[in-house]
Structure 1
């Protein structure tokens, strides 16, 4: 039964893509099919939670020993797949309202490729080995490129070219050689608790190999392999939400965590110190991205660089090579997904309803759009790491990991990152609620299809504060979670 559910999880979004194409002349039915598929996928993933500790596998193809196309259920993948599945229908509802309100053309194409992106997310989340992960990773890039280019104008085409060029170059030029090198060293690519590479090479080789993975997984957006992310902000707001919360960047940091835990192994990284040099790259990314965000007046650009910095928190947790830090990185993947999708949905609602895209244009807008900006404020506080919101616990676990590793410089970076997040996020709701509007607003709150989804995901930020223990429970089998 459980292998069948794995197959359902990967194929259900593909069936949704087919349904969208068949219903292209019936917009309401097309969107309903997408939402229904999302709800069904979320139910499927939640039904797999009781089997989190079991060895559930589905092999589709086997080439050579250690090289196969295979899916498996394990705690990290279960969490990522559940996040993507739960957020898919929420984003679809928002996308339907956004595309209609903005009269965006080619809406069927949009929903079809959106579903394909979820196929790739499920593929990556449930991959049993590096080969399967790499194939899903490339599918994700190809499936999301048309979404980035959806606007069809010069800016959209240029942004899509940068997006595809950086992600394909980094994955083929760096990640693929790392996968091959791993197979040569270990004779296997199958993910294994405790890692594959223990005792196979010295510190120097493992350090270079770890760097190849982290820079090769360009979707994690470590500097300097990050320019694709702000370039992709030319896409419609629902695509930005997909990129930042549901699929793309989360696939990147998920891959980093999976490689850390199941390929290198936390004990091996701790003993060799192979991850230490990359911790400084992650630390630099945390601070530099936040400084750029503070200086950005364009709202989506500010949020994009916020994502670059917050993803670096997760990578930093992996490089600290302590169970508690990795657990913090995993939980930050979840809390950041809930928070950042809220922020981008709010940005989309503001752009469509108020026609405002710059932070400097938001004065007094909270009085006309109180629900939208209340959701924004809630998500911003979660990303900063203040209680009672989910980001509190992920930031706390990361700090404790830095203390346990004796990395007090990294602890200072984590604290500075939160202070900088306060500086680039809080002026937005502050201006909206506290400053008088430059002109009397000619509109009210965004329509429910635009304001309802971010309010729902903002409530998710609150729920994650009180439900953190339940979210982290599946990790007990692979990490020592407090």
Structure 2
């Protein structure tokens, strides 16, 4: 059975859609429904891995679906940055599904069929977004992703969940329609094309003030990247069940945001033009402020998921900084950070959910001594924390290293200090949690209750992602190779 690469590319988007129908049909039989979800996620992963092999072998993989107006078309292309995003998302969809089975059952959640259905829809949107050949296609899937994840945020159906959902939808749709869409229309008028192009789409004699303004619209309009002041939706979405938080923070939504920023910086503006724009420096410092402020807010959160949410806002700032530095180190650091942060953060959320299911605790202050009853979970939390901080033996070390090199190459010493101080703050708000879990201190009754971990499938899932954090440190080569080729892309149009 030899499927063409073009067909595989389309299947990555179509299979999750078909999965929604199959999930709906098997909704009354939980075991069957979950088997269906896992089968489809395996199939999507199979397609993506084959596309990766095709891309590595130098194949040019493009698919055209339909044309709205001349130049406005829905079409897809496989290039290294999209490939990296698709690999992470398809692999983590499978792992999150495993985790969700243990969590949703262990927690006795309602509406599980709707949960798996919206999850599959979101993955379809992510695949379409990852392989978009132009801004028009990307915008369509970007909006579908917002709408398909809204029912996941409001999953609990409580007043608090609905309120969180309103903030989520309000900010994400508001920014994308007010700013992102406007930026796309202006790009279309100024450049005459929306195709992602190596070196950017703007001509040499372009008005830098106008293009600088377009850049600001893009950065604010891509609300999913959670740059302050448009980050409020992310903590608000914390009312969702933990597998949803994992999807939002590690797999789909926030990664779609920073992926879009990186893609726009590299293929719409181009790294030659970016440093010459009058607004780039302002946006760099804004992203830097976002990194620091979110870290400081994270330190003050006692609710573990809220602490992790603000940590995400901070870490996304790193990726935006790398994109705006407009050097090859910055781009490599940003794209590697998409992967290393995905594995680190999804593990931390998995651990938070595991603690909730096993002990019904959600506050950091209640987690002393947990290392005795939940050693696997707390050890995983420790390794994932190291990855977010960016120290060996975890993968985050490399992405932060390249980002620091980018700040040195461009002479942005203040931004370099921000990254270093932020890493110290990461230590302050993450490491005490596993430390107190294993060393609760005198006067704390060491647990006599024996081991009481989350359901086995959830433990397997978080063990796999923890292993991912370590593998990305020991063997970062494939990730680095993919990141390195982003700027010399085969398969993206080189100007028309």
Q: Where on the TM-score scale, by shorter chain, does this alignment land: which range?
A: over 0.9
Cα distance in structure 2, aligned partners of 1:268 and 1:394:
24
**1:425-450 Cα shifts (integer Å, max 9, x gaps):** 11110111110556846561222122
Query: How far does residue 50 in structure 1 lie from its aligned partner after superposition?
Result: 2.8
Counterpart position of 2:458: 450
SS of 2:487 mapped into structure 1: coil
Contact in 2 for aligned 1:385/1:392 (Cα 8 Å): yes
Counterpart of 1:360 (choices 350, 356, 365) is: 365
Determine if contact 1:346/1:454 at 8 Å carries over to the other structure: yes
CA contact 1:323–1:480 (8 Å) conserved in 2:
no
On the 8 A contact 1:327/1:479 being kept in 2, the answer is no
Match of 1:478 in 2: 486
Paired residues of 1:206 and 1:274 also in contact (CA < 8 A): no
Partners in 1 of 2:362 and 2:175 — Cα distance? 31
SS in 2 for 1:267: coil
CA distance in 2, matches of 1:83, 1:478: 16
How far, CA to CA, are the matches of 2:221 and 2:148 in structure 1? 19
2:292 is the alignment partner of 1:284: no
Name the SS for the 2:265 alignment partner: helix
**Cα pair 1:94 1:450 within 8 Å, conserved:** yes
For structure 1, the 5+ residue unaligned runs are: none
- What are the within-5 Å matches in structure 2 for residues 421-460 of structure 1? 421-436=426-441, 437=444, 440=447, 442=449, 444-460=452-468
Which residue does the alignment assign to 1:255?
260
Task: Say whether 1:83 aligns with 2:88.
Answer: yes
Whole-Å Cα distance in 1 between the matches of residues 90 and 405 of structure 2?
30
> Where do 1:318-333 residues align within 5 Å?
318-333=323-338
Shift of 1:467: 2.3
Separation of aligned partners in 1, 2:448 and 2:438: 13
Alpha-carbon deviations, 1:265-306, whole Å to 9, x = none?
Answer: 011113445422100110000000000000000000000000
Note the aligned Cα RMSD (angstroms).
1.4
CA distance 1:200–1:185, shift in 2 (3 Å): farther
Find the counterpart in structure 1 of residue 35 from structure 2.
32
Could you tell me how far apart the structure 2 residues matched to 1:33 and 1:64 are?
38
State the partner residue of 1:50: 53
Is the Cα contact below 8 Å between 1:54 and 1:73 reproduced in 2?
A: no
SS of the residue 2:272 aligns to: helix
Secondary structure, aligned partner of 1:379: helix
Establish whether residue 464 from structure 1 lines up as the match of residue 461 from structure 2.
no
| TM-score, normalised relative to structure 2 | 0.95
> Closer, same or farther in 2 for the Cα pair 1:323/1:467, shift >3 Å?
same
Aligned to 2:74, the other structure's residue is in SS state strand
Aligned residues of 1:384 and 1:422 also touching (Cα < 8 A) = yes
Q: How many residues were matched structurally? A: 481
- The structure 1 segments of at least 4 consecutive aligned residues displaced by more than 6 Å after TM superposition are none
Check the 8 A contact 2:15/2:40 in 1, yes or no: yes
The answer to whether the Cα contact below 8 Å between 2:372 and 2:447 also exists between their aligned partners in 1 is no
- Per mean C-alpha deviation after superposition, the further-off stretch among 133-142 and 62-71 is 62-71
- The answer for the alignment partner of 2:99 in structure 1 is 94
Q: Which has the higher contact order (CA 8 A, sep 6+)?
A: 2
Do structure 1's residue 9 and structure 2's residue 12 form an aligned pair? yes
- Aligned with residue 240 of structure 1, among 245, 258, 275: 245
TM-score, reference length from structure 1: 0.97
How many angstroms apart in 2 are the aligned matches of 1:467 and 1:200? 44
Distance 1:467 1:43 in 2: 21
User: Which of 299, 322, 344 is the aligned partner of 1:339?
Assistant: 344
User: Is the 2:246–2:350 Cα contact (8 Å) retained in structure 1?
Assistant: yes
Partner of 2:300 in structure 1?
A: 295
| CA distance in 2 between partners of 1:446 and 1:50 (Å) | 36
CA positional deviation for 1:466:
2.1
